[in-house]
Copies of this chain bind each other. A is one copy, B any other.
Amino acid sequence: MTDGYRAAVVGATGAVGNTMIRVLEERDFPVRKLTLLASARSAGKKLQFKGQEIRIEELDENSFKQIELALFSAGASVSKLFAPIAASDSCVVVDNSSAFRMEPGIPLVVPEVNPYDVEKNAGIIANPNCSTIQMVVALKPIYDEVGIKRIVVSTYQAVSGTGKRAMEELSEQIRAIVDGKTIENEVYPHQIAFNCLPHIGKFLPNGYTEEEMKMVNETRKILGDPHIQVSATTVRVPVYYAHSETVNIETRKKITAEQVRALLEKAPGVKVLDDPEKFIYPMPLAATGRDETFVGRIREDTSIENGIDFWVVADNIRKGAATNAVQIAELLNEKKLIKRK
């Protein structure tokens, strides 16, 4: 592997960082040396990569001198501070945080949707929000065929999107209920076990949450169409992995459910599961650990002239984060956009 890159994962101990390491391995991304970076708290811990133990190093401003490619997943404040340092050291950054997504000049990329956008990068490429990624993967073939005027989306989001502590909190609450003990909550403002919280991210003055507005703004940027109208409601449900979404769209021209199914069946990264009478439809449990975006329940919505309804599910930690980031790295590699040091 002497022809691979000197790569780094920043935030290696988090749910996404951990999966980035797994996905680099699974997809056999060309890595000559993998550096794992994290906060002082995690430095010294060891993680496995391709059978080797790698000691986690503390992230600082000198971390990127030797690194050619860095995948960041350590939160927006870490990215804001360190991604520009990495970029100025000629290390190309794929950033999973929200820090740069809406910055003009920073590409926001889903490889199945807007791969060409990676080319105009100034050292940082943003990985979109999980709930946006799976929706645009499913929308892109329809958008290209008939155009899309408006999207109404409701989400059913897994606790892993909040991080490891949220997953533990759900498990602890379930165990407390089974054992008849007091239920505690710390990560979420209310119990998540056997509940639904219509609350993901901060509330904004317009009444929508940050998560909901990400779906509006990121969809426009990724599809390169500021005229697409999006209304989103994002909801946390007691599921560990994989986000589900009901998507209702108004297209510019008429398209049938059959045509949508045919388009999606040949779309990259999409797996159509749509034989409901045989109980075949996407579900978060079945999407867990998978890299595809699963689409089903495709039907014509006759409540408007050109309407389509569907249900889309993807593993939020994989396609919604780690896998998409590694796919961006693959694109950068193909297009020879990673500089050797």
Contact = CB atoms under 8 A, between A and B. Distances in A.
Interface of A: 150-152, 154, 156, 174-175, 177-178, 189-191, 194-199, 203, 206-209, 216, 229-231, 233, 235, 237-240, 244, 246, 248, 257, 276-277, 279, 281-286, 296-304, 307, 309, 311
A248 B235 contact: no
A59 B212 CA distance: 52
Nearest to A177: B174
Quick one: which of A233, A235, A257, A299 has the most chain B CB within 10 A? A233
Nearest to A243: B196
Contacts of A301: 231
17 contacts: A152-B152, A152-B248, A156-B156, A156-B196, A156-B235, A195-B283, A196-B237, A198-B281, A198-B297, A203-B277, A207-B276, A207-B299, A231-B304, A231-B309, A233-B246, A235-B246, A238-B238
B239 A281 contact: no
B300 A206 contact: yes
Nearest to A230: B303
A262 to B, nearest CB: 15
Given A174-B174, A299-B208, A194 B152 contact: no
